[in-house]
Amino acid sequence: MDFRGGNAAIDLGQPRPAVHKKCFAARVTGATAVLQRLYDGHHIGTRRLSGDQSIEIAIGSLANTMRMYVEAHIRFGELFKMDPEEAIDNLDRAFEMKLEAFHTLYDVSKRLFPYFDHGDTTVLIAVRNAIHHRHHHLFQSMNRRLYIDTGLDRWRGASFLLASHPTRHGAPIQMSHYVRLDDLDARLDPSSASPYLDTTVRGDKAVWRLKVIDLELKLPAIRNRSLQDRYPKDQVYLNLIPIFVSAVCKAFKAMKAAGIAFKGFDAQTYAVPFTSEIEVDLDSPSLKRLYVGGFGPPFIIDA
């Protein structure tokens, strides 16, 4: 499989009719405006929203960004042939929009769900905060690094270890957003002495946060395999998409159990699969190798 393309094997929601790529910026602007209104705690005008209304709108905004990401992913392969930078930037910005929307849902619904008791939801919030307050080079996508920042020729002959989490029902999630695993360590591991460490969480709380993430996502097993196979730290990557799917499933199930309505086309489309159909297996990370050969595109094999 060429890692640059491919549609998700799991139906994560049917995209609406295709829109020309020039409309993408307008969609980004619109979604950002919705998120800003949520952040301010106001609906159109000056009427204060109730708690449940804020959650309903946050769910709708998150579902909307999820659909926009699927659409950007569907367009990625063809657009990449014409303009790799635009294709990669569109997909990366769409992913960051999903993180922002998830963080908004966290902001307005944390009374209903213990986000920091789970490794997947904790990771999403931490990565969102790191990107939102970016003063570092962390969490750039593998696509950007290979094709834009360094160029593919820089990596001819190299191999990358790719870690992902499968589903429990067999159907794979083929969409991906890979970031360096050591970026998580640099941001979240208090023992790393990293200049990029998140200092908003300190002491025992920081240690506990990393422990929750490691235990649930089984990251030590990935690190151990990378050491066993002698991979440089900057050539070990983690796929955030299954982690995102798992986190949204947990949050949506909690919102549904609390009686929160899923309003709007996108929210209703995602409600059923993310509350009753999809289950990510965080206990069994799968490993693959990405090889960059002497010529042609990279290719992936089982590790």
pTM recorded for the entire structure: 0.85
- What 187-194 contacts at long range (C-beta under 8 Å, 24+ apart), as own/partner pairs, is 187/126, 187/127, 187/130, 187/138, 187/139, 188/126, 188/213
Burial grade of 88 (CB within 10 A; 0-12, 13-18, 19 or more) = buried
Model pLDDT for residues 219-228, shown as the tens digit of each residue: 999 999 999 9
Tokens standing for 251? 């949050």
Query: For strand 159-164 and strand 236-239, is the pairing parallel, antiparallel, or unpaired?
Result: parallel
pLDDT at 47: 62
Note the pLDDT of residue 4.
39
- CB atoms under 10 Å from CB of 111, counted, come to 9
- The C-alpha atoms of residue 186 and residue 210 are separated, in whole angstroms, by 11
Q: How far is CA 215 from CA 129, 142, 209, 218, 238, in A?
A: 21, 25, 10, 5, 15
Phi, psi of 156 (to 5 degrees): -60, 125
- The tens-digit pLDDT sequence of the chain (303 residues) is 333 333 334 435 444 444 454 455 555 555 555 555 544 544 444 466 777 999 999 999 999 999 999 999 999 999 999 999 999 999 999 999 999 999 999 999 999 999 999 999 999 999 999 999 888 899 999 999 999 999 889 999 999 999 999 999 888 898 999 999 999 999 999 999 899 999 999 999 999 999 999 999 999 999 999 999 999 999 999 999 999 999 999 999 999 999 999 999 999 999 999 999 999 999 999 999 999 987 778 888 887
- Report how far residue 61's alpha carbon sits from residue 50's, in angstroms, rounded to the nearest whole number: 17
State how far the alpha carbon of 19 is from the alpha carbons of 16, 75, 223, in Å: 8, 10, 41
Query: Residue 148 and residue 287: Cα distance in Å, rounded?
Result: 25
Residues 6+ apart with CB under 8 A from 187: 126, 127, 130, 138, 139, 194, 196, 197, 198
- Can you tell me the distance from the alpha carbon of 194 to that of 76, in angstroms, rounded to the nearest whole number? 34
